């Protein structure tokens, strides 16, 4: 029995008042394949049948003025052991996986059938009146993906490389799209025919912006009209990176798993996805309540204008303070506090915020480890030179 599983078994056994071995066997029976279980009439859990109900659960908890949903497609790995294709719902800088496929880390072949199956599983869970945006990074773009997303009734919002040719409606020749954003600080948007090859050509809208400080421009291809979309919406895609961190070292500790079968890992992901959804919903609710309290009683609002605290304040009046804790961490703390207080376990809400209207400025790059070592060596060399100089001065005196 693994150390993490041993602790979990002991905790569940204490809560339920049952034997450890019985609890351990039930947990194993849940994630093992039918062939790995003893007996003839054994079944295993088909995780794909849980994807649509999981997304429906998220939509039932959704509280927003607009019926807008952002789904992000991305890939994460666990060393060379596993590769996980994931589709996640993103809300308040958090990501909740709602569909996934686990593959051996070095498995060759196309991912197309897996992505198509994941999207198809989720299609039935979203009502027709919802506006769904499906975001993906440059490495995932393909014409079949564009068509599959449209086939679900959703809007592709896919980043593509700058080394692409396109032409405006009415033009006859294809030119490099870099002509529209030649330098940092430039933007462009319009309807085009993208890709010169007939087999890969699509008609859509290009949203392009090169923010100062970024290495390259954001090039987004979508089927929305130019006036209906903003290139800054692509910032939602980065939230899935935080979700991957939560599943590994950040919160749930999946990187400690020693499972050897992909289907077992998929069932473990189901348990973590449910926990992620629960904690994010509680964290969203707690954050909304905190924002309402702040707006009703803003700290320092009653102080006179000439007070030193008002003068030193850098944040404009009425602006919310920056997020200190992610919603999933805040939600986990809410659960722990509820258990300490012996209260009923709550269920929160998913209070979505408006999609971003501006691009986030790039963070200042920290000095690399090599440059830090080089700087430290230079300081030590200068100290040695000064010591030798002082020693020579004393000897001469």
Residue-by-residue DSSP string for 198-241: TTT-EEEEEEEE--TTSSS-EEEEESS-GGG--GGGGGGGGHHH
Its sign, for the CA torsion 289, 291, 295, 301, is: positive
Averaged pLDDT of the chain: 89
pLDDT for residue 122: 96
Structure tokens at 182: 């030649």
pLDDT for residue 32: 85
pLDDT tens digits for range 259-313: 889 999 999 999 999 999 999 999 999 999 988 888 777 766 666 777 776 667 7
pLDDT tens digits for range 37-86: 877 778 888 999 999 999 999 999 999 888 999 999 999 999 899 999 99
Give the C-alpha separation, 84 to 102, whole Å: 5
Q: Name the β-bridge partners of 125.
A: none
pLDDT for residue 147: 96
Cβ contacts of 144 within 8 Å, gap of 6 or more: 112, 116
Average pLDDT on 320-333 reads 90
Give the C-alpha separation, 5 to 257, whole Å: 10
Q: With bands split at pLDDT 50, 70 and 90, how would you rate the model's confidence at 319?
A: confident
Other CB atoms within 10 Å distance of the CB of residue 364: 7
Contact 346, 334 (CB under 8 A): yes
Average pLDDT on 232-240 reads 95
pLDDT for residue 304: 75
Contact 355, 230 (CB under 8 A): yes
Give the C-alpha separation, 267 to 253, whole Å: 15
Phi/psi for 154 (5° steps) reads -110, 175
Parallel, antiparallel or unpaired: strands 218-222 and 155-159:
antiparallel
| SS3 track for 365-378 | CCCCHHHHHHHHHH
Nearest to 246 by CA among 284, 264, 216, 273: 273
What distances in angstroms separate CA 1 from CA 5, 20, 45, 292, one per listed residue? 7, 11, 22, 47
Cβ contacts of 125 within 8 Å, gap of 6 or more: 51, 52, 53, 55, 56, 59
């Amino acid at each position: 029995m693994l150390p993490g599983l041993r602790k979990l078994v002991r905790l569940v056994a204490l809560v339920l008042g049952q034997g450890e071995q019985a609890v351990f066997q039930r947990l194993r029976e849940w994630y093992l394949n039918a062939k790995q279980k003893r007996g003839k009439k054994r079944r295993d859990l088909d995780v794909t049948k849980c994807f649509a109900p999981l997304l429906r659960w998220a939509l039932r908890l959704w509280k927003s003025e607009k019926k807008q949903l952002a789904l992000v497609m991305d890939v994460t790995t666990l060393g060379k052991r596993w590769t996980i294709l994931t589709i996640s719902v993103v809300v308040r800088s958090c990501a909740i996986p709602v569909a996934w496929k686990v593959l051996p880390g070095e498995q060759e072949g196309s991912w197309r059938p897996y992505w198509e199956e994941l999207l198809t599983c989720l299609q039935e869970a979203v009502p027709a009146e919802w506006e769904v945006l499906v975001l993906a990074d440059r490495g995932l773009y393909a014409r079949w993906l564009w068509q599959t997303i449209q086939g679900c009734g959703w809007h592709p919002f896919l980043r593509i490389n700058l080394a692409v040719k396109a032409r405006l409606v009415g033009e006859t020749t294809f030119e490099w799209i870099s002509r529209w954003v030649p330098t940092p600080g430039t933007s462009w948007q319009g309807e085009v025919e993208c890709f010169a090859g007939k087999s890969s050509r699509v008609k859509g809208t290009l949203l392009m912006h090169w923010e100062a400080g970024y290495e390259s421009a954001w090039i987004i291809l979508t089927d929305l009209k130019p006036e209906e979309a903003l290139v800054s919406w692509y910032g939602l895609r980065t939230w899935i990176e935080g979700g991957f961190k939560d599943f590994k070292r950040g919160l749930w500790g999946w990187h400690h798993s020693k499972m050897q079968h992909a289907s077992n890992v998929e069932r473990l992901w189901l348990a973590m996805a449910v926990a992620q959804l629960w904690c994010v919903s509680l964290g969203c609710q707690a954050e909304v309540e905190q924002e309402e309290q702040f707006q009703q009683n803003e700290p320092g609002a009653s102080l006179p204008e000439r007070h030193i605290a008002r003068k030193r304040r850098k944040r404009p009046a009425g602006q919310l303070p920056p997020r200190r804790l992610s919603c999933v961490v805040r939600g986990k703390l809410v659960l722990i506090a509820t258990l300490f207080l012996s209260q009923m376990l709550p269920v929160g809400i998913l209070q979505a915020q408006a999609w971003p209207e501006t691009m986030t400025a790039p963070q200042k790059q920290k000095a690399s480890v090599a440059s830090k070592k080089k700087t430290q060596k230079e300081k030590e060399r200068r100290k040695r030179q000064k010591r030798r100089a002082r020693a020579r001065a004393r000897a001469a005196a």
